[in-house]
Amino acid sequence: MRSSLRPLATAILFAFSDLSLAHPVMAETDPAAEGNGAIPNINALSAQYLPAYSRIVDGLSWAGHVDSEIFSNYSGGVRRGSEPNIVGQFGLEYDTRKAELWRGGKLTFSVMGIYSGGVQPGYSGDIQTASNIWAPSALRIYDAAYRQRFTHWLNARIGITDINYYFDVTGNALQLVNSSFGINPTLTANVPGTATFPYSGLGAMVGVHGAMWSSKAGVFQGDPQHRGSAFERGYMALWEGGIHWGEKGDDDPDNDADDYGKYILKIGAWRYEQPHPDLPGLSPSTAGVYAVAEGNWEVPGDRDLGAFVQMGGAPQDFNPVPWYLGVGLRLGHPFPGRRDDSLSIGMARAWLRSGPVAAGLGVEAGAVHAAETAYEITYAAKLSPHLTLQPDIQYITHPGGMEPNATVGILRLHIEFF
């Protein structure tokens, strides 16, 4: 076998295993390892979590990072207290063109480890999940997919992946820590069996784009805790279309995220089909829509200002979160001498349907408020090329629809390797 093919073959072999099943300590705390156990209702980690890849040899690159944080609920919510959370991810990328094999091929592979010191909803009690890295402790293969670009405007992907890498991505919101800024809670709060953090899943997608437009569609398994069952236990189908205009200096219109352009407008629709709604923790069949609008400007002082609006809807009467609205701003280079720092503020409001929420909590419907709203401000201070410190504060009204207003603080340290 050619030496340049060995890393590719190795990654393919790994793709047919799952580390959460091979690691008994992690498997004990991973609900997915319990077979038919309920899937935690967790919103997703922000898109494309790995940092930029660094070259090892021609065609093969790697990336790695660790995020560690102290999450504290200072007041309100369920109870006061603190807990540590840690997420690490290591990934490989194999580019067939750079390896001088064929054009347009790329294989990605990554492993993710999660450690949680407690159950975050047991502190803040919020549906939207204040920290986007909180999840039950686990160790698993997170990404094992192959992408083929057929022309400069057509590409396809198949394998294990996270839908939020490619759908419902809001670039200007990715620094914010509340999970709703990563992916719409009308999707994740209503459909626990979504192929996104902490359970990526099997799927396939195809995308096309031009200089000012993009469109993509995909189908992913509906119960990602059973990867081997493929689509026998339900599926999630998504479509997203967007228009992009204006040019930014760092634009790459050939990327898979379709986040190029000074101004971005995207709309999407999804359909979740579950033939076995009696399975623990899984939603019945449902559907929804979402939209994202973003703008980017240069402002005095060599600063970059970004703004965003997110919206979502899943109005079926059994969905606990029928509507969502998120808005925010991101300011790059906020202070002289801190060119790589950034400051973000945001508001995430999830409307609640009292009947389903009350049924899940075992309370009277009249005790549930109409909405949960999180207000967030966060600052990312780049201490070195590989080290970022990020303090974050959130004020959450009516967590879970019935808890006292909560004040949450998070101090996160981000470390990039290679």
**Phi, psi dihedral angles at 42 (to 5 degrees):** -125, 130
Average pLDDT for residues 342-347, to the nearest whole number? 97
Report whether pLDDT(21) > 70.
no
Distances (CA, A) of 40 to 190, 291, 365, 380, 409: 11, 25, 22, 29, 23
Question: How many whole angstroms separate alpha carbon 283 and alpha carbon 321?
Answer: 12
For residue 418, the model assigns a pLDDT of 77
Map tokens 């998070």 to a residue: 410
Q: 25 pLDDT exceeds 70?
A: no
pLDDT at 253: 56
Report how many domains make up the chain. 1
Residue 180, pLDDT above cutoff 90: yes
Q: What is the per-residue pLDDT across 235-293, written as a single tens digit (0 to 9) for each?
A: 999 999 999 999 876 666 556 556 678 999 999 999 999 988 777 778 899 999 999 99
Bridge partners, residue 396, by sequence:
374, 406
Per-residue pLDDT band for 401 (boundaries 50, 70, 90) equals: very high
Which residue is associated with the tokens 């050939």? 254
**Quick one: average pLDDT of 364-386?**
93
- Name the residue range of residue 343's domain: 3-417
Integer Cα distance of 405 and 416 in angstroms:
35
Q: Chain-wide mean pLDDT for the chain?
A: 86
pTM of this structure: 0.87
Of the candidates 164, 165, 166, the residue with the CA atom closest to the CA atom of residue 183 = 164
Q: What is residue 61's predicted lDDT score, i.e. its pLDDT?
A: 95
CB-based contact 290:309 (threshold 8 Å): no
Nearest to 197 by CA among 267, 110, 288: 110
Residue 329 sits in a domain whose CATH number is 2.40.160.180
| pLDDT score at 43 | 54
Closest CA relative to residue 271, chosen from 289, 259, 255, 257: 289
Q: What pLDDT shows up at residue 49?
A: 65
Cα(415)–Cα(194) distance, integer angstroms: 28
Report pLDDT for 13. Answer: 32
pLDDT of residue 244: 94
Sign of CA dihedral 87, 144, 184, 154: positive
The pLDDT value recorded for residue 270 is 98
